[in-house]
Amino acid sequence: MPSLLASLIPSWVSILISIPVLFVSLFIFQFYIRPSLTSYSNLPGPKIESYIWGNMKGLMSNEPGVGHEALVLKYGKTLRYNGFMGMQRFYTADPRAVSYVLNNGYDYPKPARVRVLLEEILGTGLLSAEGGVHQRQRKIVVTSFSRNYIRDMTPVFIEHAYELKDKFLSMIEDDKPTRIDVLEWIGRATLDIIGRAGFDYHFNALKTEYNELADAFQKMFVHGSDVTLLLVLQNFFPFLKFIPTAQSRSAGIALATMERIGGDLVAKKKEAVLESLRTEQAAGDENEKIEVQPGKKDFSGKDILSSLIRSNMARDLPPSQRLHDKEVIGQISTFSLAWCLYAMCENTEIQDKLRAELVQVENDEPSMDELNALPYLDAVCRETLRLYAPIPSTLRVASKDDVLPLSEPIKNTRNGKMMTEVPIAKGTSIFIPILNLNTLDDIWGGDGQIFRPERWMGENFSDAAKEVPGVWTHMSTFISGPRSCVGYRFALVEIKAVLFVLLRSFVFAHCDPRPNFIKKLSFLIVRPRIKGEESFGAQLPMMVTPYRP
DSSP for 421-445, please give it.
EEEE-TT-EEEE-HHHHHH-TTTTT
SS3 519: strand
Q: What gap in Å lies between CA 196 and CA 188, rounded to an integer?
A: 12
Residue 292 confidence (pLDDT)? 40
Burial class (CB in 10 A: 0-12, 13-18, 19+), 545: middle
Q: Based on the fold, state whether residues 15 and 43 are members of the same structural domain.
A: no
Host domain of residue 425: 39-110+398-463
203 φ, ψ (degrees, to nearest 5): -65, -40
Residue 381 is labelled as binding a ligand: no
Q: What are the residues facing 395 on neighbouring strands? A: 431
Identify whether 69 is part of a domain: yes
The last residue of a domain, from among 463, 493, 516: 463
- HEC-encoded secondary structure of 41-100: CCCCCCCCCECCCECHHHHHHCCCCHHHHHHHHHHCCEEEEECHHHCEEEEECCHHHHHH
Are 18 and 71 members of one domain? no
Does 88 lie in the same domain as 26?
no
Distance from C-alpha of 495 to C-alpha of 381, rounded to nearest angstrom: 7
4 and 57 together in one domain: no
**Same domain for 58 and 32:** no
DSSP 461: P
Task: Determine the length of the chain.
Answer: 549
In a domain, 305, yes or no: no
pLDDT for 182: 94
The alpha carbon of residue 381 and the mean position of all alpha carbons in its chain are separated, in whole angstroms, by: 17
Find residue 92's DSSP bridge partners.
78
In whole angstroms, give the CA distance from residue 124 to residue 116: 10
CA-based max dimension of the chain: 104
| Same domain membership, residue 106 and residue 43 | yes
Per-residue pLDDT 10s for the chain (549 aa) are 455 445 545 566 566 666 676 666 665 656 667 677 788 888 999 998 888 888 988 888 889 999 999 999 999 999 999 988 778 889 999 999 999 999 999 999 988 777 776 666 555 566 666 777 767 667 767 776 788 888 988 999 999 999 999 999 999 999 999 999 998 899 888 888 877 887 777 888 898 877 776 677 666 655 444 555 566 666 666 656 666 666 667 667 776 776 677 677 777 777 776 776 666 666 655 444 444 443 333 334 566 666 666 655 554 444 444 444 443 333 333 347 888 999 999 999 999 999 999 999 999 999 999 999 999 999 999 999 999 998 899 999 999 999 999 999 998 777 788 899 999 999 999 999 999 999 999 899 899 999 999 999 987 788 888 899 998 888 999 989 888 888 888 889 999 999 999 999 999 999 999 999 998 887 678 888 999 998 788 899 999 999 998
Residues with Cβ within 8 Å of residue 266, at least 6 apart in sequence: 305, 309, 325, 328, 329
**pTM (two decimals):** 0.83
Same domain for 28 and 84? no
In angstroms, the CA 41 to CA 415 distance is: 12
Cα-only R_g, the chain: 26
DSSP three-state, residue 102: helix
User: Quick one: 53 and 100 in the same domain?
Assistant: yes
State the Cα–Cα distance between residues 281 and 523, nearest whole angstrom: 46
Domain contains 542: no
Q: Percent helix, strand, coil in the chain (nearest 5)?
A: 55, 10, 35
- Looking at residue 145, the DSSP 8-state letter turns out to be G
**Residue at a domain's end among 420, 445, 463:** 463
Domain end, chosen from 430, 448, 463, is at: 463
Q: Note whether residue 358 is domain-resident.
A: no
Q: Give, in degrees to the nearest 5, the angle at Cα 138 between 196 and 488.
A: 55
In a domain, 537, yes or no: no
Residue 434 belongs to some domain of the structure: yes
Q: Are residues 407 and 456 in the same domain?
A: yes
314: in domain: no
State how far the Cα of 376 lies from the Cα of 210, in Å rounded to an integer.
37
Amino acid at 73: L
- 499 found inside a domain: no
Residue 12 sits in the same domain as residue 54 = no
Beta-carbon contacts of 40 under 8 Å, excluding residues fewer than 6 positions away, are 80, 90, 422, 423, 424, 428
Measured between alpha carbons, how far is 88 from 371 in angstroms, rounded to an integer? 46
How many domains is the chain built from? 2
Residue type for 310, please?
Answer: R
Shared domain for 429 and 459, answered yes or no, is yes
DSSP tally for the chain: helices H, then strands E: 21, 11
The CA distance from 521 to 433, in Å, is 14
The angle at the Cα of 518, spanning 515 to 522, to the nearest 5 degrees, equals 130
Query: Based on the domain organization, do 53 and 4 belong to the same domain?
Result: no
